[in-house]
Amino acid sequence: MPLPGAHYTLRLPNGLTLVAEPIPAIRAAAFQMLLPSGAITDPEGLEGAATVLEGLCYRGAGGRTARQFSDALDALGLQRAGNADLESVTFGGALLADDLPEALALYADLILRPALPPEQFPSEQALALQRLERLEDSPAEKLFVHLRRAYFPGPYGRTPLGSEAGLRALTADAVREDFARRYRPEGAILAVAGRFVWGELSDTVHRLFGEWEGAPPGQPDPDCTGRERYRHIPQETNQVQIGIQYPGLPAEHPEYYVQRMAIAVLSGGMSARLFTEVREKRGLCYAVRAGLLTMRGAAAIQAYAGTQPDRAQETLDVLIGELVRLAEGIEEEELARARTGLLASLVMQSEATRARALHLVRDQFLLGRVRSLDEIRAGVEAVTTDAILEHLRQHPARDFTIVTLGSSPLEVPA
C-alpha cells in the first residue's frame, strides 16, 4: 500500500488510464470516468449532441430498462455525479467501498452498452431544449456563455447546452452514430478514491473495460485568435451583468501556482481585493469575483460583476482598475489570507472521496499525471509577494474581452 497521498496509475493496452488513490481510514469510495468527448467534439451542426447522448445513456443499459437501471444504482446507495462539459463527459458517483465493484460493472454497461432507446430520444431532446431556454431566466449564466463565445471564436466557444438549431437537428440515429464514434477508450480516464484493494480493483477494471476498443475523434486546440474586444447582449433586466476574460497560464506552466495565488488575492474571500474595493468600499455591485478557466493546454482569467444600471459604467471601470492595480503592490497580510484559504480548501478536499476522485481525473486529463497533495501544498507555500509582482509584470492584466448584458452598452477602455 502506498503512503498516504500517494496513488496508483495503470494504462490499459486499449488506452484507458486508471488512477487510484487509497484512503484506507474511511469506508467509502468514489469514482469518475472521463471521456474526452465533450461539446468541442460535437458534430458540426449538431451542437448539444454530447449533452443529449450523456442523458440518453441513463435510459437503459446492459439489458436493463431505464427503471431497472436506475433501481440498480439506487440499491447501491450511489450518489451520482457527472455531466457533459466542454472538453469531456464524466460519469461517476460515491458509495460504500464494498459496493464499488458492482457499481463499476453497472457503469461499464452504461458506457459500453447503453440501450439508447429511440422512443426515449424525444424526451431527452426536449429536456436539452428546456435547459437551453432557461438561459433567458439566468442572466449571469447567459453572460458567461456569450463571454466564452466572444473569447473563443471556434469550438472552444461552444456551450455544452448546445444551440437550438443543433438540438433540433439531432435524431435518434444521429445520437447512436455519435456514441459509436466518441465513446472509446483511447484517452479515457477512470479515477477512484477511497478504500479499495489495488490488486482487486485492477483486476475488476481489466475485466470490465479490457475488451473495449477504439479511439475517439481528436480534440481541437483552444484558439482565441480573432476574439472580440467587446460584445453587448441587449436584455431588459433590473441588473447589468459584466464579464471580463483575458489570457492566463495553463496548469502545466511553471508559474501556475503564482498565478493561482494572485487570483486568490483578488478574489479569495470577503477580505480579498475585489470584494473589498468594488463592493464594500464603493457599494458598486451585489456580486463580484474572479477565477481561472482552465483547459488542456490553455487558460483564461475571468472576472465578473453584477450591478445596477446606474452603477454599471463605474463598476466596469473600477473592476478593470483593480485587475490592473494588483501589479502595483501586494501586502504580506493579503498573501497570507489567500494562502490560508487555498490550503484550507485543499485539506477539506483531501477528506472527501468525491473531491479526490475529481482531482485525480482532472489532473490526469490536464497534465498527464496526478499531483500529490504535498506537491500542491509546497507549490502554494513557495509563492511570495515578490514572485507575484514579477509574474504580473511579465503577464499583466490586459487584452481584455468584455461582455455586458443589460439594457444599454457601456464604454470600454481603448
> pLDDT, tens digit, for every residue of 106-128?
999 999 999 999 999 999 999 99
Per-residue pLDDT, 4: 46
Parallel, antiparallel or unpaired: strands 189-194 and 17-22: parallel
User: What length is written for the chain?
Assistant: 414
Whether 289 and 165 share a structural domain:
no
**With contact defined as beta carbons under 8 Å apart, do 52 and 170 qualify?**
yes
Identity of the amino acid at 45: G
Residue 306 falls inside a structural domain:
yes
Residue 136, CB half-sphere, CA atoms under 13 Å: how many? 5
How many Å apart are CA 116 and CA 60, to the nearest integer? 7
Least confident of 100-114, 253-267, 335-349: 335-349
Residue 221 falls inside a structural domain:
no
Whether 259 and 372 share a structural domain:
yes
**If pLDDT is split at 50, 70 and 90, which confidence band does 2 have?**
very low
Whether 29 and 124 share a structural domain:
yes
Whether 189 and 247 share a structural domain:
no
Dump pLDDT digits (tens) for 186-195: 999 999 999 9
**If pLDDT is split at 50, 70 and 90, which confidence band does 3 have?**
very low
Q: Per the structure block, which three cell numbers stand in for 414? A: 481603448
Whether 294 and 152 share a structural domain:
no
- Backbone angle region of 385, left / alpha / beta, with phi > 0 → left and psi within -120 to 50 → alpha: alpha
Per-residue pLDDT, 346: 82
pLDDT above 60 for 1: no
Parallel, antiparallel or unpaired: strands 89-96 and 189-194: unpaired
Residue 223 falls inside a structural domain:
no
**If pLDDT is split at 50, 70 and 90, which confidence band does 5 have?**
low
Whether 262 and 205 share a structural domain:
no
How many Å apart are CA 228 and CA 224, to the nearest integer? 9
Dump pLDDT digits (tens) for 345-398: 887 776 689 999 999 999 999 999 999 889 999 999 999 999 999 999 999 999
Average pLDDT over residues 12-18: 98
Per-residue pLDDT, 268: 84
Per-residue pLDDT, 297: 92
Per-residue pLDDT, 345: 85
How many Å apart are CA 265 and CA 268, to the nearest integer? 6
Whether 171 and 292 share a structural domain:
no
How many Å apart are CA 50 and CA 55, to the nearest integer? 9
Q: Which domain holds residue 245?
A: 230-406
Mean pLDDT of the chain: 95
Average pLDDT over residues 322-350: 90
Structural domain count, the chain: 2
91 CA to centre of own chain: 14
Per-residue pLDDT, 276: 92
pTM: 0.94
How many Å apart are CA 163 and CA 43, to the nearest integer? 12
Whether 167 and 280 share a structural domain:
no
CATH number of the domain within which 254 lies: 3.30.830.10
Per-residue pLDDT, 56: 97
Torsion of CA 121, 111, 189, 380, to 10 degrees: 50
Residue 260 falls inside a structural domain:
yes
Residue 204 falls inside a structural domain:
yes
The β-bridge partners of 304 are 243, 289
**With contact defined as beta carbons under 8 Å apart, do 34 and 27 qualify?**
no
Parallel, antiparallel or unpaired: strands 285-295 and 189-194: unpaired
How many Å apart are CA 404 and CA 234, to the nearest integer? 8
How many Å apart are CA 14 and CA 209, to the nearest integer? 9
- What does residue 403 show for φ and ψ, rounded to 5 degrees? -130, 135
Average pLDDT over residues 277-300: 93
Whether 181 and 260 share a structural domain:
no
296: which DSSP letter?
Answer: T
pLDDT above 70 for 257: yes
pLDDT above 60 for 11: yes
Residue reference for cell 490586459: 398
The β-bridge partners of 247 are 300
How many Å apart are CA 345 and CA 373, to the nearest integer? 11
Measured from the Cβ of residue 394, the count of other Cβ atoms closer than 10 Å reads: 10
How many Å apart are CA 313 and CA 248, to the nearest integer? 25
Average pLDDT over residues 270-283: 90
Residue 347, CB half-sphere, CA atoms under 13 Å: how many? 6
84: which DSSP letter?
Answer: B
Specify the higher pLDDT residue, 35 or 268. Answer: 35
Measured from the Cβ of residue 351, the count of other Cβ atoms closer than 10 Å reads: 11
Dump pLDDT digits (tens) for 136-194: 999 999 999 999 999 999 999 999 999 999 999 999 999 999 999 999 999 999 999 99
